[in-house]
Amino acid sequence: MPMIRGIERKCLEMIKQSAKDMHPREFLALLSTGNRKDVISELVLIPRMMYGKRQATFNIYMVPFDRRIVGTVHSHPSGIPKPSEGDMHTFMKYGKVHIIIGYPYEDDSWRAYDYNGKEIDMEVIE
């Protein structure tokens, strides 16, 4: 699987708007590279996802087998885009790139992490 170098601006805008729409509950989706192998360009929503004020979850059995899915994105209504212990467990299980966006869900309030929870640079591609 190639290294993920960035995220398309339109996908980031969709993440920001989805997080705002779900606030004060957490937003959760999967990240996909779509037709581009090294750039996140799509969100994948899973049927029966559960969105709560402190966590959002999904049933792994509802996730399609698709090699373009590279990780997860979720919001932190608290405004702190750092992974919790629960986030770390998710990171290790579901892909290699994970994004957390914190309130107020703007360009400067998100961070990307690898599956070990180490912050990584993620280019926004226009």
| Full residue range of the structural domain in which residue 22 is found | 6-80+92-111
**Mind listing the pLDDT tens digit for each residue in 79-123?**
999 999 988 988 988 889 999 999 999 999 999 999 999 999 999
Q: Mind telling me the catalytic residues?
A: 26
Question: Does some domain include residue 53?
Answer: yes
**CATH code, domain carrying 19:** 3.40.140.10
62 to 44, 57, 65, 69, 77: CA distances (angstroms): 11, 12, 9, 13, 25
Q: How many domains does the chain have?
A: 1
CB 77 within 8 A of CB 26: yes
At 60-77, the pLDDT tens digits run 655 666 788 899 999 999
